[in-house]
Amino acid sequence: MEQTDWIITVLVGVNVFIFIYFVVVNLSYISLIVLSYIQTQRSRKESEIFQLSGLFDTRLYKSISILAPAYNEEKTIVESTRALLNLKFADYEVIVINDGSKDDTLKALKENFGLKKIDRYVPKSLKTEEIRAVYGTSRFPNLFVIDKENGRKADALNAGINVSRKDLICAVDSDTLLEPVVLQQMLMAFVADPDTIAVGGVVRVANGCTFKLGEVKDVHVPRTTIGRIQAVEYLRAFLFGRTGWDFLDSLLIISGAFGVFDRESVIRVGGYLHDTVGEDMELVVRLHRHYRERKQRYRIRFLPEPVCWTEVPESWKILGRQRNRWHRGLADTLWRHRSMLFNPKYGRLGFTAMPFFLFVELLSPVIEIGGYLLFGISLWLGVINIGFALLFLTAAVLLGMILSVLSILMEELTFRRYSGIRDVIILIVYAFVENLGFRQIHAWWRLRGLIDFFRGNKSWGEMTRTGAF
């Protein structure tokens, strides 16, 4: 066989593989959409049956400690803390952790809430960087602020867990706003099933919305292209991604911006890891592994109704840095827990969730960008004809668009958070736009993240805020 024939044979084989991969991936996504719709309807019925007011009349609820790590968050920290203090819940405390901020985060908290140093015993259940002081105030008896040496987010959360005194911990980002009844909604999962050890909620884009006194008043799409694309992404990721995995009882990710955990379970597995940038996913996978290996009953849930609002990046550079870090975190988690892959000990996690996140999520940028290059080479060598190539690329783009549009329509058919038809139309338009350029740029960011993971890069990167609240 001549060298040219060998090259053509290899190219044909690779193109067939890419085609099969494309079919399998999209069938997986379509299946998740169907399962998500079923699970969303089921969740809404459970919510109606539960009747939140009746739940709290029975005194069955658990207490919650809200942990809000803060690093250089002076622009948003006061409003987000006020919002946390205005939540409608009977027994909770707010613990803001100033993780060695270089700006005036701590000063802003002191001046606005009248904080003073207090003497509070802090057990060393989890190892953390030094806690310099704990602050409290008589004006807000359930507010505590920790001032500590910088140790990054995981270390800050562990410090908050040590200081906390409640049954559950709710990990949020300091630049997020929780809706007033969100803790009640999240608590339903713990009360409905005592085996529940963790629950995730929906994170939605705050950019473009109007807020007053810590509450969202008007929900609108962001004003910028980059913000609108992320609004579509978040709807797709939460409304059909995580809801579908909840149906399969195989949820591997609870967003670091918004999740509730059983405090003792988190301490039992060693808290958040310090040496990873994907501490949120890694903790969830470690909890799964811990309980599966001991054959103990447990549930890790996702609920599509509780909502937290977060400010997303308005800079392409910062967004790229964020997505790079997310992909490094995914790679790190899958590597640490690689023994779970195709391991019957872990059931659906080993045979469904872990393979999906490895082959569909982690390796997709490699295959996608490699596919673009091979398509070009194949066309140049005449391995495939231009008509088929254009048809395949068109189908790939259209399917991506359809998946995004279905997520938006699911939002309209269920929760209808957007107040006007104009916002829905804009989102549908950007569901198409994101597949024409942004999708390819996003794949490149994630590919760089995978390369950086193999290089051992564990940096967090600066995330500047504009103060959307």
Query: With contact defined as beta carbons under 8 Å apart, do 120 and 163 qualify?
Result: yes
Q: 10 Å Cβ neighbour count for 386?
A: 9
In a domain, 296, yes or no: yes
Q: Which pair of tokens denotes residue 47?
A: 């919510």
Residue that wins the pLDDT comparison between 56 and 32: 32
In a domain, 374, yes or no: yes
Confidence of residue 380 (pLDDT cuts 50, 70, 90): confident
In a domain, 102, yes or no: no
In a domain, 415, yes or no: yes
Confidence of residue 297 (pLDDT cuts 50, 70, 90): very high
pLDDT above 90: percentage of residues in the chain: 47
pLDDT at position 79: 81
Domain count, the chain: 1
CA 245 to CA 252: how far, in whole Å?
A: 8
Q: 10 Å Cβ neighbour count for 20?
A: 10
CA 166 to CA 66: how far, in whole Å?
A: 9
Q: Which pair of tokens denotes residue 128?
A: 């953390």
In a domain, 19, yes or no: yes
Average pLDDT for 22-33? 85
DSSP at 338: G
Confidence of residue 54 (pLDDT cuts 50, 70, 90): low
In a domain, 113, yes or no: no
pLDDT at position 337: 97
Beta-sheet strands, E only, within 206-334: 210-212, 215-218, 258-262, 299-310
Q: Please state the φ and ψ torsions of residue 65, each to the nearest 5 degrees.
A: -105, 120
Q: Please state the φ and ψ torsions of residue 89, each to the nearest 5 degrees.
A: -155, 145
CA 209 to CA 211: how far, in whole Å?
A: 7
Q: Would residue 385 be called left, alpha or beta, if left means φ above 0 and alpha means ψ between -120 and 50 degrees?
A: beta
In a domain, 444, yes or no: yes
In 3D, which of 80, 47, 62, 50 has the Cα closest to residue 308?
A: 80
The type of residue at 283 is L
- pTM, entire model: 0.90
CA 153 to CA 48: how far, in whole Å?
A: 36
Q: What is the pLDDT of residues 220-239, one digit of tens each?
A: 899 999 999 999 999 888 87
Confidence of residue 156 (pLDDT cuts 50, 70, 90): very high
Q: Which pair of tokens denotes residue 358?
A: 């490895």
DSSP secondary structure, 299-317, as one string: EEEEEEEEEEEEPPP-SHH
Q: How many residues does the chain have?
A: 469
Structural domain boundaries, residue 443? 1-62+167-458
Residues 6 or more apart whose Cβ sits within 8 Å of residue 102 = 72
Residue that wins the pLDDT comparison between 22 and 117: 117
Average pLDDT for 448-456? 94
Residue that wins the pLDDT comparison between 114 and 393: 114
In a domain, 69, yes or no: no
Q: What is the pLDDT of residues 308-343, one digit of tens each?
A: 888 899 999 999 999 999 999 999 999 999 999 999
DSSP secondary structure, 65-113, as one string: EEEEEESS-TTTHHHHHHHHHT---SSEEEEEEEES-SSSHHHHHHHHH
